[in-house]
Structure 1
Amino acid sequence: MQCQIRRAIESDAQAISKVVIAALHESNARDYPPEVIAQVEENFCPASILRLMKQRQMYVAVVEQHVVGTASLDQAVVRSVFVSPRHQGRGIGQQLMARLKEAAVSAQLEELRVPSSLTAQSFYAQLGFHKVRDEFHGAERTVIMALSLDA
């Protein structure tokens, strides 16, 4: 399976929204109650994706001309890493993270941070991130994790 990682463009917004929402409902729903999933989902409609594209370095993973994953870099913070449930477990998330790490190193950042979902905590740990602390936003728990980029 050939996967291309590229910068997101405006015409990707609808597809990115679908990937995120599918992942929330199929993957994250195992770790969070329905009200938390619904609250997070509100932040990923196509219009919100377009706004985020202007604020972050947003990337997509494309397989056979279909967007199957996304990840963003907001200065030194990794944001919104999602892979379509049908494509999870195939290294696409790792490829997206490698691209974000390249961008961070190019920007001479010393550390990456990620507010991880409970669902993705082991994924980030496998990439070398370590837990810094837990954060709570109402019923939503995120795990703040960090990765040193020192050579």
Structure 2
Amino acid sequence: MKPFEFFRATDTDAVMLSRLIKRTIRTSNSKDYDQQSIDLLCAIFEPERIVERIRNELIFLCFLGADLVGTVGLKRDYLRSLFVDPNYQKQGFGKMLVENMEGIARKNAISEIMLHSSLTAQNFYAALGYEYLEFQLHDEGPFILMRKGLSESPC
């Protein structure tokens, strides 16, 4: 297996990142969300809106060789926008991205991370130690508010 690398996203990554996210939403979330919800979710990740996020959040990209396989963001104490290309799911990249951000959060004295999980990803986050807080209904569809306390070092 080729080595993977993490890079901080820049404005020039917005189009590539938008394509990855929208492809992932349309493929992975289609069993849990209707077409209207998927279209609304995809609209959130147009390149112009991603540029705004890049400028206001810590966003990392994960590459395997030349292939963009995933992304994750951190805004204060919220884990945001974890997406792994459907061709690379269930290979540990999502877990690596989350653990990378948890490590950064610990270094910045963040004691717990919150997130809004899609229905599709709820079991993934639960397996990483995130606990269910509440069901929420947004314009883009239902989501699950989850949290995880961070210790000084990972378990």
TM-score range, shorter chain: over 0.9
Aligned pair count?
151
Unaligned ranges ≥5, structure 2: none
In the TM superposition, 1:1-151 aligns within 5 A as 1=1, 2-138=3-139, 140-151=141-152
Closer/same/farther in 2, CA of residues 138 and 45 from structure 1, 3 Å limit: closer
Partner Cα separation in structure 1 for residue 27 and residue 55 of structure 2: 28
Displacement after TM superposition at 1:139 (Å)? 6.1
CA RMSD of aligned residues (A): 1.1
Structure 2 distance, partners of 1:51, 1:66, is 24
What TM-score do you get using the length of structure 1 for normalisation?
0.96
TM-score scaled by structure 2? 0.93
- Among all aligned residue pairs of Structure 1 and Structure 2, give the percentage whose two residues are the same amino acid: 28
State the AA in 2 paired with 1:13.
Answer: A
Asked whether the equivalents of residues 5 and 95 of structure 1 are also in contact (C-alpha less than 8 Å), the reply is no
Q: Measure the CA separation in 2 of the matches of 1:9 and 1:34.
A: 30
Deviation at 1:47, TM superposition (A): 1.2
Q: Secondary structure at the match of 1:30?
A: coil
Structure 1 gaps of 5+ residues are none
